[in-house]
């Protein structure tokens, strides 16, 4: 059973930046997954896709983004640290949510929660106005 541990959430003001991290267990290298993704869930809402990466070569990844975060968020992986990051800039109050990291073992729709096999415990991100 893979283990994903998120960190880096917190409180930030409108327009600020935050970076959240997802560290995978040493037995499961992030480059071996079909995809690594970030999702978020706000109170009373369904969990929604934020961003994902898929391996595209040695030490490189292709990023995918939800329209709501495109141009503001950047997802990237660090194979040496076995960690996936989500850099969030120009944050808005509507970005407030619990952010979850997830890993997919097999090919599927990367925007769908059902494509992912492992999930982290989540980290809270709050953007104040």
* pLDDT tens readout for residues 20-67: 999 999 888 999 999 999 999 999 999 999 999 999 988 899 999 999
**How many Å is the Cα radius of gyration of the chain?**
14
- Distance, in Å, from the CA atom of 21 to the CA atom of 84, rounded to the nearest integer, reads 6
Q: What pLDDT, on the 0 to 100 scale, is given for residue 75?
A: 98
Q: What is the DSSP letter of 58?
A: T
Smallest Cα–Cα separation from 82: which of 31, 122, 39?
Answer: 31
């Amino acid at each position: 059973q893979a283990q994903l541990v998120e960190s880096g959430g917190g409180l930030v003001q409108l327009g600020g930046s935050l970076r959240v991290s997802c560290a995978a267990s040493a037995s499961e290298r992030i480059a071996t997954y079909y995809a690594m993704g970030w999702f978020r869930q706000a109170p009373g809402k369904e969990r929604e896709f934020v961003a994902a990466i898929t391996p595209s070569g040695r030490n490189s990844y292709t990023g995918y983004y939800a329209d709501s975060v495109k141009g503001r968020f950047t997802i990237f992986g660090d194979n040496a640290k076995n960690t996936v990051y989500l850099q969030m800039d120009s944050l808005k109050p509507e970005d407030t949510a619990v952010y979850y990291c997830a890993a997919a073992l097999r090919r599927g729709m990367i925007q769908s929660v059902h494509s992912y096999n492992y999930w982290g415990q989540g980290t809270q991100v709050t953007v104040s106005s």
